[in-house]
Amino acid sequence: MKNKTNYIWHNGKFVHWDEAKIHVLTHSLHYGAATFEGIRCYNTDRGPAVFRLRDHFKRLFYSASVIDMKIPYSLEELETATLDLISKNKITECYIRPIAYYGYGKMGVNPQGAPVEIAIACWGWDKYMTHKLVDMKTNKYIRIPSVVSITDAKLSGNYLNSILGILQLQGTDYHETLFLDLNGNIAEGAAENIFFIKNGVLHTPKLGGILAGITRDTVMTLAKKMGLKVIEAKLSLQEAYLADEAFLTGTAIEIKPIRSIDDKIIGKGETGIITIDLQQSYLEVVHGKNKDFFHYLAFLK
C-alpha cells in the first residue's frame, strides 16, 4: 500500500505495519460484522490535531453495540492510542482508520463467542477524490432501508451496498454514485452525505436511513453560524436536479462540490458561492484557525 507508516496499534500494542496480521478464519472477514471509523488529523499552529476524535469513537461504540460487540478498551484508551500512534509514526496530517471486529476462534454466522479485536492504522491520504467537481449517477440499488440493516451504524457489512453502487460506475465517466431510499428520495453517496442549496437555504436528507455523518453535523453547525437556514427533510430527485448548488460531505472527501447528477447540471456547473464559503470555513476549523471550534480538536500530547 502507498503511504504506509511504521506502526499500527493492534489489540493494545504498537506493531510494525507489515506485522499487523489476522487469521483467514477471522469471523468478521466472512460475515461482515465489524465496525470502523474514518478520522482525519490536520496540522495546526499548535501541532497536529485530530478532528472530532471523541465523536468518531462514540459512533464506533454505538456501531459496536448494535452488533452486540463489547470493545475491550475504553473510549479514553482508544483516544490515547490514536494520539500516541500518530506521534510514534511522526506524521502531521493523516487519515485514521480504527476497526473493531470479531476475530478468529469460531465459525458460524452468530458472532457471539468470537474474540473482539481492534486495530488503529493511520497514513497520509491527501485527496479521497482528485476531481474538483463531482459528476454523480443515481444507482439502480437503493440505500439499505432501516428495516433491513442498521444504517446509522458504520458497519462493514453495510458497505456491500456502497460497493455494488460504485462498481456500476465502471466504464463510465461518473465519479460517484447517488443512492435513493426505498421511497425514491435522496439518501446519500457511497461514503458521503449530500447537501443541496436552493435560494440560499441548505437542504439535506433527514437522519433515519443514512449515516449520521460527523462532517454533515459540522457543516450544519457552520452554516447556522453563518446565518444560513438548514432544513433536514425528505428530498426528491427532481428537487435535487433543480438545486442552485450541491455538495458531498465526509471525513475523507471533506466538502466536495457536485457538478451534475444524471447528466443534469446543478446550478452553473461550478463550485457555488455558499459552497466556497463553507469549504473555507471548514478548512479553517480543522486547521485550528477558528477558536470557537477548538473543542473539536484533540492535540497530540
Residues labelled as active-site residues: 154
Residue from 9, 28, 33, 38 binding ligand PMP (CB under 6 A): 38
Q: Which stretch binds ligand PMP (CB under 6 A): 7-15, 89-97, 134-142, 190-198?
A: 190-198
Please state, in angstroms and rounded to a whole number, the distance separating the CA atoms of residues 246 and 230: 13
* Shortest Å, Cβ 143 to ligand PMP: 8
Please state, in angstroms and rounded to a whole number, the distance separating the CA atoms of residues 254 and 224: 18
* Residue with smaller CB distance to ligand PMP, 20 or 252: 252
* Residue with smaller CB distance to ligand PMP, 216 or 256: 216
CB atoms within 10 A of CB 260: 18
Q: What is the dihedral of CA 99, 52, 123, 250, to 10 degrees?
A: 80
Nearest Cα neighbor of 36 from 13, 69, 83, 3 is: 69
Residue from 67, 116, 178, 214 binding ligand PMP (CB under 6 A): 214
Q: Which stretch binds ligand PMP (CB under 6 A): 74-82, 96-104, 249-257, 272-280?
A: 249-257
* Shortest Å, Cβ 159 to ligand PMP: 7
* Shortest Å, Cβ 138 to ligand PMP: 16
Cell numbers of 63, please?
A: 456501531
Residue from 50, 81, 191, 240 binding ligand PMP (CB under 6 A): 191
* 123 phi/psi in degrees, rounded to 5: -160, 160
Sign of CA dihedral 281, 132, 214, 40: negative
* Residue with smaller CB distance to ligand PMP, 88 or 234: 234
User: Per residue in 191-205, is it b (16+ CB within 10 Å) or e — as a string?
Assistant: bbbbbbbbeeebbbb
* Shortest Å, Cβ 179 to ligand PMP: 8
Residue from 26, 177, 251, 281 binding ligand PMP (CB under 6 A): 251
Residue 249 sits in the site that holds ligand PMP (CB under 6 A): yes
Residue 211 sits in the site that holds ligand PMP (CB under 6 A): yes
Please state, in angstroms and rounded to a whole number, the distance separating the CA atoms of residues 118 and 147: 28
Please state, in angstroms and rounded to a whole number, the distance separating the CA atoms of residues 28 and 111: 8
Tell me 18's DSSP state.
G
Residue from 63, 139, 215, 275 binding ligand PMP (CB under 6 A): 215
